[in-house]
Amino acid sequence: MQNNAATQNFDKGTEKTGAAVAIITVISLLLNIVFQHAINKILGTISQLQIVINLALLQTAFPGNLNNFILKLKPIVTFNIVKIITQYFLMLFSFDVDFQNKVKATIMTPAKN
């Protein structure tokens, strides 16, 4: 390559980018070390909550407010997040089912014949 202004600017830019990537990697490593214990505590708390939630399987009588709390907490503890995300997704994006069926009938049916 020729050593002109464009290549020199390119070299300077890549050196700066390399330094930025190195700094970001070090920061990421330090944050990983710091927050590792916090994640372990969160996962430990969730596993303890799973034990509490599954106490209902033993046919134990709980007060009404505790039953309500357990019902609200159960999807979170059992990692049933897909159902919750799906509800919010359907609230954000409404789909026209009739239009989809019409498109399916006009496009897919002739393809079968």
Distance CA 31, CA 22 (A): 14
* Residue recorded with tokens 């505590």: 41
For residue 3 the two structure tokens come to 């050593």
Q: Reduced to 3 states, what is the DSSP secondary structure of residue 25?
A: helix
Spatial contact of 75 and 46, defined as CB atoms under 8 Å apart: no
pLDDT at 80: 66
Tens digit of each residue's pLDDT (9 = 90 or more) over 28-77: 888 888 887 877 887 788 788 777 777 767 777 878 888 888 778 777 77
pTM for the full predicted model = 0.35
Looking at every residue in the chain, the average pLDDT score rounds to 76
Structural domain that includes position 77:
5-112
Domain total of the chain: 1
